[in-house]
Amino acid sequence: MVQRRFPRYKDLAPLMNFRAPEFNAKKRRLARALTIQDLQKIAQRRTPKAAFDYTEGAAEAEISLARARQAFQDIQFNPAILRDVSTVSTGWDVLGAPVAQPFGIAPTGFTRMMQTEGEIAGAGAAGAAGIPFALSTMGTTSIEDVKAENPNGRNWFQLYMWKDRDRSMALVERAAAAGYDTLLVTVDVPVAGARLRDKRNGFSIPPQLTVGTVLNALPRPEWWINFLTTEPLAFASLDRWSGTVGELLDSMFDPTVTFEDLAWITAQWPGKVVVKGVQSLDDARRLAEMGVDGITLSNHGGRQLDRAPIPFHLLPDVAREVGNDLEVHLDTGIMSGADIVASVALGARFTMIGRAYLYGLMAGGREGVDRTIEILSEQIARTMRLLGVNSLEELNPGHVLQLERLVPRAVAPSMVAAAEPAASRARKTAPAAAAAVSGTPTTKRAPRAAPAAKAPTAPA
Would you name the residues annotated as active-site residues? 300
Which residues touch 249 (CB under 8 Å, ≥6 apart)? 189, 191, 192
Residue 432's Cβ-count burial label (10 Å; 0-12, 13-18, 19+) is exposed
- Dihedral pair phi/psi, residue 329, rounded to 5°: -110, 170
- Which helix (H) or strand (E) segment holds residue 225: the answer is helix 221-229
Return the half-sphere exposure (C-beta side, CA atoms, 13 A cut-off) of residue 271: 22
**Rg (Cα) of the chain, in Å, rounded?**
26
How many C-beta atoms surround the C-beta of residue 184 within 10 A?
A: 26
C-alpha 304/C-alpha 191 separation (Å) is 8
Which residues touch 433 (CB under 8 Å, ≥6 apart)? none
C-alpha 36/C-alpha 379 separation (Å) is 11
- Dihedral pair phi/psi, residue 398, rounded to 5°: -65, -15
Return the half-sphere exposure (C-beta side, CA atoms, 13 A cut-off) of residue 124: 16
Residue 205 β-bridge partners: 243
Note whether 315 and 295 are within 8 A (CB). Answer: no
